[in-house]
Structures are given as structure tokens and as C-alpha cells.
Amino acid sequence: MSHTKRHASRHHPGSDWVVQDVRSYAYWRAGVDDCAACGVDVALDDDHYGMELFRERATEGKLGVERERLVFCSRGCVDAWLH
């Protein structure tokens, strides 16, 4: 797996991932990311939905938390992705 996380295909995270927060954003930061559900370009400085996920992960004996952020173009895509 040499792909970086940002450009890997958006596999559905496993059941150990917990959705922490989903909300609409009018602005998050400059840039564009792919909708995790339908793949269209999402302008991060315009209206979109952001999802924060995390999972606990043991690393060298210490419990760490791994975080992921997905973006969606619409509420419908959030719902489609969740189901």
C-alpha cells in the first residue's frame, strides 16, 4: 500500500471506526476533496458536510487514537455512505 491516505480510494472504514461528528460546514479550509460517497469534487471553502471518525489503536504498547476526516457533497451522500 504505497498510496497516501488522501488519494486512496475511500474504502468504508471497518467496524472499529466510530463516527464522532457529522455536520455541515460553510467553510473548513481552502481546497477541494472528493465526496466520500459519490466522488464529486467538494469545495472545502463552500457548503459541504464533514465527518470526523476515530478508532483506538494500540501502537507499541500505548493506546493511541487514529483519526480520519471524510467530506461529503450533501446530506444524502452522508446517509448513503452510512448505510
Residues that bind Zn ion (CB under 5 A): 35, 37-38, 73, 77
Burial class of residue 19, CB neighbours in 10 A (0-12, 13-18, 19+): middle
Q: Cα torsion for 10, 12, 15, 19, to the nearest 10°? A: 70
**Please, what is the minimum distance in Å from the beta carbon of residue 65 to Zn ion?**
27
Based on CB atoms, which residue is closest to Zn ion, 13 or 55? 13
Give the Cα separation of 70 and 7 in Å (integer).
Answer: 12
Based on CB atoms, which residue is closest to Zn ion, 70 or 73? 73
**Please, what is the minimum distance in Å from the beta carbon of residue 75 to Zn ion?**
10
Other CB atoms within a 10 A radius of the CB of residue 33 amount to 20
**Please, what is the minimum distance in Å from the beta carbon of residue 66 to Zn ion?**
24
Based on CB atoms, which residue is closest to Zn ion, 53 or 55? 53
